[in-house]
Structure 1
Amino acid sequence: MLTFLAYAMIAVFMTAVMSNRLSALIALILIPMAFALIGGFGPMIPDMVLEGIKRIGPTAALLLFAILYFGLMIDVGLFDPLVRLVVRVCHGDPLRVIVGSTLLAMVVSLDGDGSTTFLICVTAMMPLHRSLGIRPLILPAVTILPNAIINIAPWGGPTARVMASLHLEPSQVFVPLIPAILLTCCGAVLIAARFGLIERRRLAALPGIVPDSEETPMSQILASRRAVVARPAWLQAFNLVLTAALLVLLVADVLPLALMFMIAFAIAITVNFPGIREQRERIEAHAGSALSVVAVIFAAGVFTGILQGTGMTDALAKSVIYLIPESAGNFIPLITAVLSGPFTFLLSNDAFYFGVVPVLAEAARAYGIAPEVIARASLVGQPMHMLSPLVPALYVLTNLSEVETGALQRFALPWAAGLAGLMLAGAVLTGAVPLY
């Protein structure tokens, strides 16, 4: 019964969101509550919801202050030189702009935090994409696809979880996957190039679309922002050093991420805008963006709280094991790799890597298959995971890009599945994930 309810709830949720019948915020709240009532868990709903919100609280705080911090950095023009560099390199060519956006996302994704990557890349590149008339869904797509690949780094979320759950080292899990990861990165660049060629042909047929110059909307956007909150040169140097130090500390993981962004934001706004009135104006300028993202994050806490509190997460994990016949035992690595895409999309990384993967690893042990093989196989589906409605960073991306979550999922999921297939092919060819 729980297994049926779990699959039905996820199916209804995805249908409602991807068909635009409900927004992600409303669907995350109402649909799990409705299924909890159907399953007879009505009296337990308040406790499950509060537990889910407690677990999601640090993430909500992180995103709140990250949005405020990077919004402030955008206000003071910290990323303007980066945008100008990309403008000079791209010369207003949609192909170069889209491929450049992908490469930028790859580099920034090395910090291991999706939200930070989206905040930096989208805010830096959106003015350029808009000035050229590139379709709105392309920027978030070419940002999230490379981020999902690079996030497999040992300091990223999924690899850290699977190493902790199976007690493994990076040399056992990550290093053998490096060739497959590089191959998949090349695949992401090729996808971006395809988008760029399509946009180049489309825009060439439209009147009034010209490459960026000193008088284009792109330059006007940057100039108008500097006119409002222009900062002296020494302050720009301070902001650059502060941001670089923040990113280094994020990778080093010396303090909780939410606390680091709180401290960085407090320092940045005090130094750049010492007046109380100015500070209030800057916070109010970004309050709308912060509220819309944080509201969805707390709604996601409702969804995950009910999913775990009712036992649906465990039911989903057991259903996977029951579906694997004994005769297919030698194919468990391949089965794990194939299942990792849809199951990291339907479940949180915690649920998959701490709930499902250890069971699969134990089953594989009976066939002489080492746990590190299962760990590597479980990471193959990560390109699809970042588009999951349970990933808080996804809502940061869609909010910044001003696109609907369902629309981005419909647009990017087929490409994400293709990248997962490419990573599996690379892992099989290099022996990181044996076929048999």
Structure 2
Amino acid sequence: MLAFVAAATILSLLAVILSNRVSPLAALILIPIAGAIAAGVAPGIPGYIVDGLAKIAPVAGMFVFAILFFGIMTDAGLLAPLVNAVLRMVGERPSRITVGTALLALLIHLDGSGAVCFLITIPALRPLYDRLGMDRRVLACTASMAAGVNFLPWTGPTLRAGAALKLPVATIFTPMIGVQVVGLVFVFVVSWWLGVREERRLGLGDHAANAEIPAPLGVTPSHSDAELALRRPRLFIVNVAITLVVVATMITGLIEPVVVFMAGTALALIINYPSAAQQRERIDAHARAALMMAGILFAAGAFTGIMTGSGMIKALAQASVSHVPDAIGPRIPVLLGMIAMPLSLLFDPDSFYFGVLPVIAEVAGHFGVPAVQVAQAALLGQMTTGFPVSPLTPATFLVAGLSGVELGAHQRFAIPWLFAASIVMTLTAVAFGIFSL
């Protein structure tokens, strides 16, 4: 019964969000509450929500101050030279820009953090996409693909898989390097194709690099006097130094990310806009985006808190793998690789890797399948290619919010390509002899 209610709750949430009939904030709060009531655990709802909020609070704080920090730095003109440099490198040909987007996201994601990848890549390139009239969904999708396929030994899914199955991460990752290379080739090919499709949509021919591309509605290539007044070119080096320190400190993990961004935001404010009035104006300018992000993240905390605390996630995990036909037992890694990405829409990373994966590995072991293959199959999609579109991770809301794209629109556009990346890598693993049919 509990597993059925859990499945109905998650499917209802996905259907509501994908249909754009209800805002994600409202859906993330009301649907799990209704599910908990239906499951007969209503008295525990307040406690579940509080527990979920406690876990999400540092993440929400980081995102709020990250939005303020990068917003202030953008106002001060920090990203303008970077955007201009990218424009000079790739020209004004959308197919080159999309490939450049994937490359930039791939390089930034080497630190293993999807949040850092999106926080740096998307704000830097969104003005370029807007200037050329390109579809922002392409920006969100290409960045998501590059970050999703770029699973590394120090990324969350790999570490969770190793810990859950008591396997060294090198044992899991090293045989998959060739598979990942093929996956990255797929990402760049798709990115190029999406760019070519944008060229056709914009009516550009073979000489798109030299063509004059009209600005999209409401976006002009030039900056207003008010925007130029906010620029601080004399403080460019100082702002670069602050940004590098903030990013480096966060990547190294020396200080909690929320503390880093809080301090960075305070420094950015007082250095670039010394007066209290100017500081209030800059905070007000970005408060809407920060508040919306915080609201959605806390709502996501309520959702995961209810689903985890009530035991619905655990019950669903056990029911999902309790009956496996003998005919498909030896093929569990291939099947798991095929469905790993969609499973990101149903299970948060901790629930899957610590709740579902050990059970799958145990079942597979009865058919002579090594646990390492189960771990490798999971990494081909579960919270790798799946994390930028899963409603169970804050990164999904971050990439959609930073791109200025509705969550449902981002999911409808990106899910087919991310799913295809998982399929390509799974078939590659079979071809390389890592998995057997």
When normalised by structure 2's length, the TM-score is: 0.92
CA spacing shift, 1:261–1:430, aligned 2, 3 Å: farther
Answer whether contact 1:111 1:250 (CA < 8 A) is retained.
no
Answer whether contact 2:71 2:286 (CA < 8 A) is retained.
yes
Deviation of 1:339 after TM superposition, in Å, equals 3.5
Give the whole-Å Cα distance in 2 for the aligned partners of 1:47 and 1:17. Answer: 25
Answer whether contact 1:111 1:247 (CA < 8 A) is retained.
no
For residues 64-105 of structure 1, the C-alpha deviation after alignment (integer angstroms, 9 at most, x for no partner) is 111111112211211211110121123222222222222222
Aligned to 1:423: 425
Give the whole-Å Cα distance in 1 for the aligned partners of 2:351 and 2:123. Answer: 32
Answer whether contact 2:329 2:364 (CA < 8 A) is retained.
yes
Aligned to 1:285: 285
CA spacing shift, 1:31–1:263, aligned 2, 3 Å: same
For residues 216-253 of structure 1, the C-alpha deviation after alignment (integer angstroms, 9 at most, x for no partner) is 966413x75762222243x3222222222332333322
Deviation of 1:401 after TM superposition, in Å, equals 1.9
Partner of 2:435, secondary structure, is coil
For residues 401-427 of structure 1, the C-alpha deviation after alignment (integer angstroms, 9 at most, x for no partner) is 222111111111111110011111222
Give the whole-Å Cα distance in 2 for the aligned partners of 1:68 and 1:260. Answer: 12
Unaligned runs of 5+ in 2: 206-210
Give the whole-Å Cα distance in 2 for the aligned partners of 1:98 and 1:225. Answer: 30
Deviation of 1:174 after TM superposition, in Å, equals 1.8
Deviation of 1:186 after TM superposition, in Å, equals 1.3
Give the whole-Å Cα distance in 2 for the aligned partners of 1:404 and 1:155. Answer: 31
Deviation of 1:375 after TM superposition, in Å, equals 1.5
Pick which of 409-418 and 328-337 moved more.
328-337
Aligned to 1:229: 230
Q: How does 1:92-171 map to 2 (within 5 A)?
A: 92-150=92-150, 152-171=151-170
Answer whether contact 1:3 1:312 (CA < 8 A) is retained.
yes
Q: Percent identity?
A: 37
Give yes or no for the alignment of 1:31 onto 2:31.
Answer: yes
For residues 365-386 of structure 1, the C-alpha deviation after alignment (integer angstroms, 9 at most, x for no partner) is 3444333222211101121232
Unaligned runs of 5+ in 1: none
Aligned to 1:308: 308
Give the whole-Å Cα distance in 1 for the aligned partners of 2:372 and 2:143. Answer: 29
Give the whole-Å Cα distance in 1 for the aligned partners of 2:112 and 2:251. Answer: 7
Aligned to 1:198: 197
Count matched residues: 428
Q: How does 1:53-68 map to 2 (within 5 A)?
A: 53-68=53-68
Deviation of 1:268 after TM superposition, in Å, equals 2.8
Give the whole-Å Cα distance in 2 for the aligned partners of 1:103 and 1:337. Answer: 25
Give the whole-Å Cα distance in 2 for the aligned partners of 1:127 and 1:327. Answer: 53
Aligned to 2:393: 391
Give the whole-Å Cα distance in 2 for the aligned partners of 1:105 and 1:63. Answer: 18
When normalised by structure 1's length, the TM-score is: 0.92
For residues 13-64 of structure 1, the C-alpha deviation after alignment (integer angstroms, 9 at most, x for no partner) is 1111111111111111111111111222222211111111111111111111
Aligned to 2:255: 255
Q: How does 1:395-410 map to 2 (within 5 A)?
A: 395-410=397-412
Answer whether contact 1:87 1:212 (CA < 8 A) is retained.
no
Answer whether contact 1:128 1:218 (CA < 8 A) is retained.
no
Partner of 1:385, secondary structure, is coil
Give the whole-Å Cα distance in 2 for the aligned partners of 1:254 and 1:165. Answer: 26
Q: What is the one-letter code of the residue matched to 2:239? A: N
Q: How does 1:296-335 map to 2 (within 5 A)?
A: 296-335=296-335
CA spacing shift, 1:246–1:174, aligned 2, 3 Å: farther
Deviation of 1:306 after TM superposition, in Å, equals 1.3
